[in-house]
Structure 1
Amino acid sequence: MRALIAALIVSAAPLAAETPVLTLPIDCELGVSCFIEDYVDRDPEPGTQRDFACGLNSRDGHKGTDIALLSFDRMDEGVEVRAAAPGRVLRTRDGMADDITLQGVTDDNACGNAALIEHGDGWQTMYCHMKRGSVAVQPGDEVAAGDPLGEVGVSGQTTHPHVHLTVYRDGEVVDPFAPGDTSACDPAPDDTLWAEPPTYYKTGLMTAGFSTALPSLDEVRSGAARVTETAPGTPLVVYGHMAYPQPGDLLTITAQGPDGEEMFRQEIEVETDQVSQMRAFGRRAPSGGWPAGDYLGEALVTRDGVVIAHRNAHVTVR
């Protein structure tokens, strides 16, 4: 990723001397058709993560804000990635395949199909993982806030459709939710780059995956529960590991077969405020076994009908 940043970030004459005010860089409705999956990692120690509110909704070393769609079908329909602020396009990349197997992905192209925009006074924004062939701007183009840059895809280092937005000031990563000190762990800080700051939810999904039996929490935490390939005769179970859920939250677990047909769906209401909770649901193999192919599992957390967390899971039956 460092090589990518070095290749994209360049010096140029400033456009303005003001701090940019950001709008949502994607054409979706938060809590309905998309949600914020990961924030900038504010913990400098390797192997740990902390978002700006001292929650766990980040990944170790994550340098941006991930806004994710809820389905590949929605991605296929076409969802615009939009400029978060006015500026000038510096660099773009297109042509990388939308491939969740991550074949050919390296540190140099982990951002996938992308655009880098300068906003003046050292400010830049970068937009990653756009759909191949969708990038709609060229270096030198002037853009306004909300102008389309491309469409959400799964190019680069990702396995689900989302836009990754990184904000830079003089080449350094800036957290748009709290560009200053976050020692207070404030979920709604006054110091923010957003024109309309999105609602923060501490609740999140740490992971979701397929297993061949009902796993324990320890097995999920260690990764021992996860399978990516299995035989036709084994059970298929989808699990979701939640952090900081609240009583009344609803975890919905589903799985789809290779033909896109839903195999099972289970809604599980959270009953306690235990910080770390795992739930799972699945089915035994039918007579004759599961058809060969790729299966998609999903774990979705809603609160009073608002989507606050979502994770995909993948397994191949051979």
Structure 2
Amino acid sequence: MRPAAAALALALCAATAAAAEPPRLGLPLDCEYGSSCVIEDYVDADPGPGQRDYACGLKSRDDHRGVDFMLLDFAAMERGVAVLAAAPGVVAATRDGMADTPVTDQTRAEIRGRECGNAVRVDHGDGWQTLYCHMKRGSLVVRQGDRVARGDRLGTVGLSGLTNAPHLHLGLLHEGRIVDPFNPEGHATCDPAPGAALWDTALPYTLTGLFTAGFATAMPDLASVQSGRARATTARPDAPLILYGHVFHAEPGDRLTLMAQGPGGGPDGEIFRRSLTLDAPKAQLFRAFGRKAPEGGWPAGDYRGYVRLWRGKTLVATRHADITVAR
């Protein structure tokens, strides 16, 4: 091969390799990470029936196929939190019109095949795409064929599809295959090489998190919290309302906050709030706080509790629970 032809071939090979590189990703929400949003679930790295995240931690669910960015609460969703394009590209598809309603056993069948809810899919070329799920009905501001830059608004976070909490599910795909943006090479280790992730923004990882939050009508023990027996979804007006959080791998000094809202509460509906410091945490623990029923009983209606785990001023995890008081 002549030198000029060889140089041209080499240049073409280099250009092809560069073009096939995955996109670099920015934060896909207009939020302050670790304060007003946090990752609750990562891509499931376990090929079997179990689950583990890319760092061999517990922050995933079986066959979870994306990264879940959770908002602090439902009030943030109502105020509006923008979903942003994580990388430049062309809008390949959109879906809108699905209600912002928490999924129930009765509604699962209705959304089958549309679990992503209201959504946007952006094509980045060379087989790379990002998928943005659970957006608010009527919030999409892009349509198929639109070109977007990183950080452009796509819509707002909602509660559509297969979800019961306001969050953005971000999926990264290459040729239709799910790719973990924290471990794009799929290394079967617990410590991917530094710099291997595709993010251009700091998203620190911690092994610490919350298994769940729930309401109970009597002080539970760890076994009943672990098994789910402690969880109550309805209560009599004269029953205590107790909110608990089930924590894993906490560190000394971590802080757990428990807050509940409902009919007859303060200006924002608050009926109680408690902050607990975890001085001697174990691999698993739970903490609970609540109130006895007021004189005359709790007003009928829906109550919601938030359990949040903090390390200093940094939000580590957040969960919520609901209970209905019926007369």
What TM-score comes out, normalization by structure 2 length?
Answer: 0.89
Is 1:151 equivalent to 2:173 in the alignment? no
Q: CA deviation at 1:214?
A: 1.3
* 1:76 aligned counterpart, secondary structure: helix
Structure 2 regions of 5+ residues with no counterpart?
Answer: 1-18
Output the CA distance in 2 between the equivalents of 1:138 and 1:189.
Answer: 37
Cα pair distance change 1:25/1:233, threshold 3 Å: same
Q: CA deviation at 1:188?
A: 7.0
Cα pair distance change 1:172/1:101, threshold 3 Å: closer
1:72-131, Cα deviation, whole Å (9 max, x unpaired): 111111110011011111111111111125436423111111011111111111000111
Indicate the residue corresponding to 1:79 in structure 2.
81
* 1:287 aligned counterpart, secondary structure: coil
Task: Show the 5 A alignment for 1:86-235.
Answer: 86-102=88-104, 103=107, 105-186=110-191, 189-235=194-240
Cα pair distance change 1:130/1:188, threshold 3 Å: farther
Cα pair distance change 1:182/1:206, threshold 3 Å: farther
Output the CA distance in 1 between the equivalents of 2:112 and 2:279.
Answer: 42
Aligned length: 302
In 2, are the aligned partners of 1:239 and 1:279 still within 8 Å (CA)? yes
Structure 1 regions of 5+ residues with no counterpart?
Answer: 1-15
Amino acid in structure 2 at the alignment position of 1:61:
D
Cα pair distance change 1:187/1:289, threshold 3 Å: farther
In 1, are the aligned partners of 2:309 and 2:317 still within 8 Å (CA)? yes
In 2, are the aligned partners of 1:53 and 1:182 still within 8 Å (CA)? no
In 2, are the aligned partners of 1:41 and 1:50 still within 8 Å (CA)? yes
In 1, are the aligned partners of 2:180 and 2:186 still within 8 Å (CA)? no
Indicate the residue corresponding to 2:16 in structure 1.
none
* 1:218 aligned counterpart, secondary structure: helix
Indicate the residue corresponding to 1:238 in structure 2.
243
Amino acid in structure 1 at the alignment position of 2:311:
R
Q: Given the alignment, which residue of 282, 289, 298 partners 1:274? A: 282
Q: What is the aligned-residue RMSD (CA, Å)?
A: 1.5
In 1, are the aligned partners of 2:53 and 2:60 still within 8 Å (CA)? yes
Indicate the residue corresponding to 2:310 in structure 1.
302
Output the CA distance in 2 between the equivalents of 1:144 and 1:194.
Answer: 16
Amino acid in structure 1 at the alignment position of 2:98:
M
In 1, are the aligned partners of 2:25 and 2:87 still within 8 Å (CA)? yes
Q: Given the alignment, which residue of 36, 45, 50 partners 2:48? A: 45
Output the CA distance in 2 between the equivalents of 1:44 and 1:264.
Answer: 42
Q: CA deviation at 1:19?
A: 1.5
Larger radius of gyration: 2
State the percentage of identical aligned residues.
Answer: 54
In 2, are the aligned partners of 1:188 and 1:200 still within 8 Å (CA)? no
Indicate the residue corresponding to 2:12 in structure 1.
none
